[in-house]
Amino acid sequence: MPSRPITKAHYESLAALRHALRRFLGFSQEAARQAGLTPQQHQALLAIKGFSERDYASIAELAERLQLRHHSVVGLVDRLVRRKLLRRTASTADRRRVELRLTAKGEKKIEQLSAMHLRELRQHGPELHRLLGTITEM
């Protein structure tokens, strides 16, 4: 089945969606900086806290979630551990495996940032939803 031609409306919708996403990402990056974190540090804490059905992640899992190389994540984790936002623990299932867990300080930081992000999404989420709907219905 041939694909439909891309119209001016497609371009306009894609551009509007990208702009809305960039605005949200800009908000997110600034919120992280105001909280004393780099955007990547915020993303790492959120990825670990949001890991499905458990409260930890491995270096490899975090690297996949952040779309970074293993050695880059090791450096990121080292910095978060030094700041006492994250701790490494040996796995009880496999002592060779390291589990990354948020500390109480890390939990507090991600809770504050997540509350801010949820407020922002409640305010601007309907626009993102509308834009996505427009694009997927075209």
Distance CA 102, CA 108 (A): 9
Residue in 76, 65, 89 with CA at minimum distance from that of residue 37: 76
Q: How confident is the model at residue 138 (pLDDT cuts 50, 70, 90)?
A: confident
What Cα–Cα distance (Å) separates residue 25 from each residue in 50, 76, 79, 93? 18, 20, 22, 37
Query: Which pLDDT does position 2 carry in this prediction?
Result: 54
pLDDT for res 43 = 98
For residue 2, being part of any structural domain is answered with no
Question: Which residues form the domain of 39?
Answer: 8-137
Closest C-alpha among 20, 19, 18, 97 to residue 56? 97
pLDDT tens, 118-131?
999 999 999 999 99
**How many domains does one find in the chain?**
1
- Which of the 8 DSSP states describes residue 3? P
What pLDDT was estimated at residue 4?
82
Whether residue 1 lies inside any domain: the answer is no
Closest-CA residue to 93 (of 50, 46, 56, 45)? 56
How large a percentage of the chain has pLDDT more than 70?
Answer: 99
Q: Is residue 3 part of a domain?
A: no
Residue 88 lies inside a defined structural domain of this protein: yes
**What's residue 96's pLDDT?**
80
The pLDDT score that the predictor gives to residue 75 is 97
> Which DSSP category does 91 fall into?
-
For residue 25, give the CATH number of its domain. Answer: 1.10.10.10
